[in-house]
A and B are shown apart, each in its own frame.
Chain A
Amino acid sequence: MSLPDPWTHLAALTPARIALGRAGPALPTREVLALSLAHAQARDAVHASFDAGAVARGLEALGHPTIQVASAAPDRATYLRRPDLGRRLSAASRGALEAWRPRGADLVLVVADGLSSAAVHAHAVPLIAALAPYVARAGWRLGPVVVATQGRVALGDEIGQVLDAAMVAVLVGERPGLSAPDSLGVYLTHGPAVGRTDAERNCISNIRPAGLCYEEAAFKLAWHVAEARRLGLTGVGLKDESDLVSLTAEPPQALPPA
């Protein structure tokens, strides 16, 4: 016998699990099992393999040159236990990047599987497509898009350093949640170099159609890139005030002067 909650109308306002009712103090049976199923789906998402080739083809179709690299973590099991390896390039990948010309881009985009290949498969290409008009309007020189397997956020530091980039934006699959196993995050780092700390980055998270949509995420990323260029830094010294800028204006005009 379970007791329903008479405020189920509120549940439409949030993806959070509210108005679930109860059996004694506990969740009703159907809710306990629904939670179990969602957990099972998220567990499976963590271990799904990354199709770097498909992502690279999608980016090349948009006209971006790409490079595929791998971190120093040889497989998923090692990757999960050894974040240090996921933050550094494999020797072969480092060699390939060192040979890349030209260097010194204003911005290098890195697409890394992180903890959710599903997020990267679904959202990386559309987000980069939505960013393109801002890049074109501001005249920023983009480097190659680096597609990284078994990569963590800080892998972008070494990639940006080797490519001598002024800034790096890492698009990475976030930890799968129960309601959102496919959420993408972007971490922007000015002056990327091995050893940068998380306090020196800005993060835009929860990018997916039901969260922060591609257009808004692209606007926010472009706003941050422009601010970072103006201030010469990213991190806690750069506060996100992008929502003070009107979103209704033509996208490129919504940007502060670069």
Chain B
Amino acid sequence: MSAHNDENRPDEVDLSDPKLTRFEVYREGLRRDDIEIIHYEPRFPKPGTGAEKRMERIVGGLFLGAGLFATLFVVAYIWWPWEYDGTASWRDPQTWYTPILGVTLGLSLLLFAVGVLTWAKKLLPVEELVQDRHDGGSSTEDRRIAESTVDTTVEDMGLKRRPFLVKAALLGAAPLGLAAVAPLGGLIKDPGDSLMVTAWNAERYNDGDPVGLMMKDGALVRPDMVSVGGQITVFPAIEHGASNEFANAPTLLIHLREQDAEKLRENLYPMYQEVDAMWGNFVAYSKICTHVGCPASLYEQQSQRLLCPCHQSQFNVIDNAAPIFGPATRHLPMLPITVDEQEGHFVATSDFLVPPGPAFWNRPSLPEEDEE
């Protein structure tokens, strides 16, 4: 059995010999597994010494300690007040429920672990053994036999003699594989223009009436609701307009200072000038970052920047929210707004002129964008 004969190995023993000790039988097993003992001796040469007893006491103590903490865990789990009642300062016992459970369970597991490990390290015999590895492939004999076995199988099936059958099977199996994955087609949905049209589109979502700007609680936004240097998040005033159903619609309405508004009016892209996108000193930018779609909503009212907290793109509020730092490449689309003469609240005069949010593969780049 052994790959190479090692002179140090003990000879094979006769297992029928009644005089064999248990250890000799055991060592014969090791020999048959190509294992040789280099070093093997009890940890404590003289059994029953004080040191051994002490080690046993330590390990025993660790196990008992583990049991104690496990008991504490169960007791705390059942009897410690745990229900969260709203007031939760550090004096309230229920805020300590999780720490107590974690620490008792953790200590119990750790003590048991240290007990087992100490047993292994301090009480098991000191041992070092060598085993043969038998690395590499099988013997040439085995390989030859296996080869002819495979060949016989191939021959029996006639795979070489019947090429037509093989081809037909392959031709039949390919569509079958296709049929197996075809039902996944149920997942496929046409994205249509969902990435380009938002809920600000009056024709599609509001029977052609311009969509109003509302706050999250549904209140329509009037100019006097945003003070100079202030901003609010607005949503299309349609049903569920503020919900996640219209995740591309959230918009930031900013009331600029006179001098900032003046600068923005000077910088305004032609496409926004044409539709008169600003109303007075008010401007509305899509809140969805043009990088990957986080809400770019950190408005710095002095440096006039909008920062996206996900990837740190920064947009210049007084220059069409054009990107000035970070990975974003396009400006935040401006929502053309005006104030409804009769009702006195803001409405969007149209949807965003360019698709809001992150770029996608078939995003149409309008010629207007090249004028930026």
**Chains A and B come from one and the same complex:** no
